[in-house]
Amino acid sequence: MFTYSELQAQDPDVYKTLIGEMQREQNGIELIASENYVSAPVLEALGSAFTNKYSEGYPGRRYYGGQEFTDQVENLAIDRAKKIFRCDHANVQPSSGAAANVAAYFAWMEPGDAILGMDLTHGGHLTHGAPVSHMSKLFRFVRYKMKDIETGEIDYDQMREVAKAEKPKIILAGFSAYPRELDYAKFKSIADDVGAIAMADMAHIAGLIAAGVLKNPFDFGFHMMTTTTHKTLRGPRGAMIMTKGTVGNPLKAPEKTIDNLPTLVDRSVFPGLQGGPHMHQTAAIAVALGEAIKPEFKEYAKQVLLNAKRMAETLMKAGVKLVTNGTDNHLMVIDCVKSWDLPGKDVEQLLDRVGITASKSTVPDDSRPPYSPSGLRIGSPAMTTRGMKEADTELLVGFMLKALEKRADDSALKSLHDEVIAFCRRFPVPGIAAETQK
């Protein structure tokens, strides 16, 4: 475990902010569905000498010397990703999920081509075509939605019709605020019908797929999958693009065929989009993937689902309205306007006051603006890493409901915050300096 004593001696200003953040993480509870706490070995790999190295290119084909160990560590990450996700190739260099999606789009599409992705208010992600994203100036984003927002069932008939009319080059399955499983076989059959590739952005649920507790799109014939590495996968911030196909020489531009996707993606990431990869991040991704192969990770993933389910049931029993009325994965979206006649932003800020961190979210076809939408998204990955079980989620829901009930009473909120701190201290955050755990 790091002690940060050298940082403290040299730069007390930065040290103070780090201690503050560690105490915030230890004394509060993280319900942001896309966050998690990494292990000490992941932190060690991140804070390592690999950050000193330039490694443009790929193992065995770099543009700088001195790559003996960077090649080894990148190959470890690639091999582990291939084994876990049952694919033919993995590019582990994208610096983030947005960069991974951009590189994936450019690997297969030309400007003006269409992508069929999930409507943003129904759970899709910014990089799936928000008008404010640069990508929407280059590509045409067309949408599918849920057929029934009470069950979350996707309207696959509408998806097929839009696909036939718009002829997208990519059919994109994926989300950042959708609480149900997708029917990957239907996505693939629609992609096949219109000659598109089937791409999955599994950033939110990659860890649950890795553990085998949710379905793997590659098992349904998907061609490409992007993911971040820091959500349920519990690695460092970073991303990967995984593909099926034949791995070729990234120094030579291949023909644009589905079988050449691995090489098209490699060339799209570098030199297409990025320069030097972050080798400390790659090393930490390798460590996280090593953890994801272990049986303990499967137990963790099962518990993530159990905790989310119990949390959703407890909220609904208390009369709280959830989008799709439940969850099949790690997240749920509360409709705060329907539940308390409050926008999600106000609930997010109220919960912050008692040490509970969540993130506002749109609800389907939200009439409110994105910065102050109607919903609040919460999830179970981080709490589960700290060892919380179903009964603990009931206590957490109790804290949330009490905050709502006492929202006008400053002293009740202060006592509630003390209660939350006492509760959180029972569950140490992995990888955090010992002095902040006290």
Binding-site ranges for ligand DSN (CB under 6 A): 34, 97, 125, 176
DSSP states along 207-239:
HHHHTTSS--GGGGT--EEEEESSSTT---S-E
Q: Which of 35, 44, 56, 313 is catalytic?
A: 56
Could you tell me where the DSSP H helices lie in 230-278?
261-267
Of the pair 166, 352, the CB lying nearest ligand DSN is at: 352
Whether the CB-CB separation of 243 and 88 falls below 8 Å is answered with: yes
Q: Is 407 a catalytic residue?
A: no
Q: Which of 121, 226, 227, 228 is catalytic?
A: 228
**Residue 176 Cβ, how far from ligand DSN at the closest point, in Å?**
3
**Residue 404 Cβ, how far from ligand DSN at the closest point, in Å?**
23
Torsion of CA 71, 73, 79, 84, to 10 degrees: -160
| Tokens 């439940």 belong to residue | 326
Q: Which of 237, 302, 338, 353 is catalytic?
A: 237
For residue 93, give the nearest of 232, 274, 254 by alpha carbon. 274
Q: Is 16 a catalytic residue?
A: no
Which one-letter amino acid corresponds to residue 373?
P
Question: What are 65-74's contacts with CB under 8 Å, separation 24+?
Answer: 70/279, 70/282, 73/279, 73/282, 73/283, 73/286, 74/277, 74/279, 74/282, 74/286
Q: Which of 25, 30, 74, 201 is catalytic?
A: 201
For residue 413, give the nearest of 369, 351, 347, 334 by alpha carbon. 351
- Cα dist. 181→177, 184, 231, 352 in Å? 12, 9, 17, 30
Q: Is 201 a catalytic residue?
A: yes
**Residue 208 Cβ, how far from ligand DSN at the closest point, in Å?**
14
**Residue 184 Cβ, how far from ligand DSN at the closest point, in Å?**
20
For residue 322, give the nearest of 22, 33, 11, 24 by alpha carbon. 33
Of the pair 120, 196, the CB lying nearest ligand DSN is at: 120
**Residue 373 Cβ, how far from ligand DSN at the closest point, in Å?**
13
Q: Which of 15, 35, 44, 54 is catalytic?
A: 54
**Residue 400 Cβ, how far from ligand DSN at the closest point, in Å?**
19
Which one-letter amino acid corresponds to residue 27?
N
Whether the CB-CB separation of 196 and 170 falls below 8 Å is answered with: yes
**Residue 117 Cβ, how far from ligand DSN at the closest point, in Å?**
14
Could you tell me where the DSSP H helices lie in 293-341?
295-317, 336-340
For residue 150, give the nearest of 308, 316, 305 by alpha carbon. 316
Of the pair 91, 176, the CB lying nearest ligand DSN is at: 176
Of the pair 8, 357, the CB lying nearest ligand DSN is at: 357
Distance CA 325, CA 79 (A): 39
**Residue 97 Cβ, how far from ligand DSN at the closest point, in Å?**
5
Q: Is 390 a catalytic residue?
A: no
**Residue 236 Cβ, how far from ligand DSN at the closest point, in Å?**
15
Of the pair 76, 177, the CB lying nearest ligand DSN is at: 177
> Number of helices (H) and strands (E), helices first, in the chain?
17, 16
Burial class (CB in 10 A: 0-12, 13-18, 19+), 331: buried
Of the pair 32, 395, the CB lying nearest ligand DSN is at: 32
Residues 6+ apart with CB under 8 A from 242: 81, 82, 85, 87, 89, 90, 91, 218, 224, 225, 226, 227
Distance CA 100, CA 169 (A): 17
Q: Is 228 a catalytic residue?
A: yes
Of the pair 191, 383, the CB lying nearest ligand DSN is at: 383
Q: Is 300 a catalytic residue?
A: no
3-state secondary structure of 195: coil
State the catalytic residues.
54, 56, 201, 228, 231, 237
